Amino acid sequence: MLAELARMYVSYNFTPRADLLVIDDTLANLRLLVNLLRENGYKVRAVSNGYEALETIQKSPPDLILLDILMPDLSGYQVCQILKEDIITRDIPIIFLSALSDGLDKVKAFSVGGSDYITKPFQVEEVLARVKNQLTIQWHKKQLELEILEREQAQEALRLQYQREQALNRVIRAIRNSLEISTVFSTAVTEIGQLLQADWVAIVQYLSQSNSWQPVVEYSPNSDLAKLINNKLSNSSCLLTERLQLLQTFCVKDPETVIDPFNQDLIEQYSRIWLPIPVYSDGDAWGSLSIVRHYSIPWSETDVELAVVVTDQLAIAIEQSQLYQQLHQVNQELENLANLDGLTQVANRRRFDQVLEQEWLRLRREKLPLSLILADIDYFKLYNDTYGHLAGDDCLKQVARALHQTLKRPADLVARYGGEEFAVILPNTSLTGAIQVAETIRDSVYNLQLCHETSPGQGVITLSLGVSSLIPLEAEAPQILIKKADQALYQAKNKGKNIVCYF
């Protein structure tokens, strides 16, 4: 398993040419995609039907599949379902290709396991961006799986190696049972302090900015000693710093070797032996596990070995904490990729459907109104034809930003509904309130003054908006709200555009 993950990691991270498989029964589309992707550095294979595709994938699974939906033998939906049922192929990302632009077709594509959806005719920039996006997501997933698996195997090896020590196992269990690094630190110093009869145990972090050592957590039955050490331990040029930075474990019998000579009160009361053990992260000294006890209890080799093993576990806990933080961050990024429209950075259609369903059910229970605004950019096709698709993309971004800035409540949601159409969900909002919000949106977009010289309307970009509002009923579905808003939008378009209508 580890070897397979390593192979995938190398493939995604270092191989310049990802292996793509294009499946389309239309020869012209097949040639277009193959040439486009090869010109951009990808290794591309092509097949023209579902059965041939399944056979090809079983022999040599690709990194990514671009799959046409409408094919004569097996549909793209069927091919996707077969691949997702196979443990070998279920994780291969699939981008559906189709001239079907209806929302339900896209919903079905995602429900059978599709990762993305491209509507024909293709736009070169969109195809390349979506392919790169899916390969990036897959690379991150494989990398994280490899790192987590390696970490789990390292932890298991350490557990088996040191399970003979009952006391050590208590520390290890504490480390493995908690992802809170402060809890792990506290348990470790308490267990080692009680086991080794220590007067003071602390996890001390090295602060490179001030070239000093600061206790993070400590165990001290002897509070006076702890107070002295906390106040006096900051000699930047002492042997302690030098030895710990070299990751060396040693016993301190002569306090003058590690304590500033000016701290005479600490030297005079230091009738103990100090064992500082480095805790390292990524090969460097992160800090130390420092243990102090009376000189009448000399350190044995077993004591030192036990303390060293504990610091190994602390290093794992530190790295594990960092790994989980990284994992959380990547998961958040992946969630954003799944829920945000890549161009406008507002919610995508998938997220819109989720939120609408959630709010419908919630407000049905609470018997409160739910409002929906559908907004469409007027004469946008003419704008694209006049100024080009890049200008059109910039227009979409500015309109989306204006919509987002208009909404004031955290529960309100703006989403790209499709093409140049946007949707706004307004929970617990009456029809009157929704109309006011729609008028504010219309004004904000108009005030952008985005020039549209060929528009038969205002000479600038404008919006037509349809508003619907109702209290959800048990016998109804959210689609009725969409249908009413769509009808209102249709009226707005027919009445001259740049207006708000409601239904």
What residues are annotated to the active site?
A: 420
Contact between 462 and 383 (Cβ < 8 Å): no
- Write phi, then psi, for 174 (nearest 5 degrees): -60, -40
Q: 124: closest CA among 135, 134, 132?
A: 132
Identity of the residue numbered 362 = R
The per-residue DSSP string of 394-447 comes to HHHHHHHHHHHHH--STT-EEEEEETTEEEEEEET--HHHHHHHHHHHHHHHHT
Q: Rounded to an integer, what distance in angstroms lies between the CA atom of residue 272 and that of residue 298?
A: 9
Contact between 369 and 469 (Cβ < 8 Å): yes
Burial bucket for residue 227 (CB in 10 Å: 0-12, 13-18, 19+): exposed
Order of strands, edge to edge, in the sheet holding 43-47? 43-47, 19-23, 64-68, 94-98, 116-119
Q: Rounded to an integer, what distance in angstroms lies between the CA atom of residue 277 and that of residue 59?
A: 53
Give the other-Cβ count within 10 Å of 223's Cβ: 9
Contacts of 190 by beta carbon, 8 Å cutoff, 6+ apart: 201, 219
Cis peptide preceding 61, ω within 30 of 0:
no
User: What is the separation of C-alpha 428 from the centre of its chain, rounded to a whole number of angstroms?
Assistant: 30
Q: Rounded to an integer, what distance in angstroms lies between the CA atom of residue 228 and that of residue 267?
A: 10
Distances (CA, A) of 397 to 133, 199, 240, 340: 19, 64, 57, 13
Distances (CA, A) of 252 to 36, 61, 249: 68, 60, 10
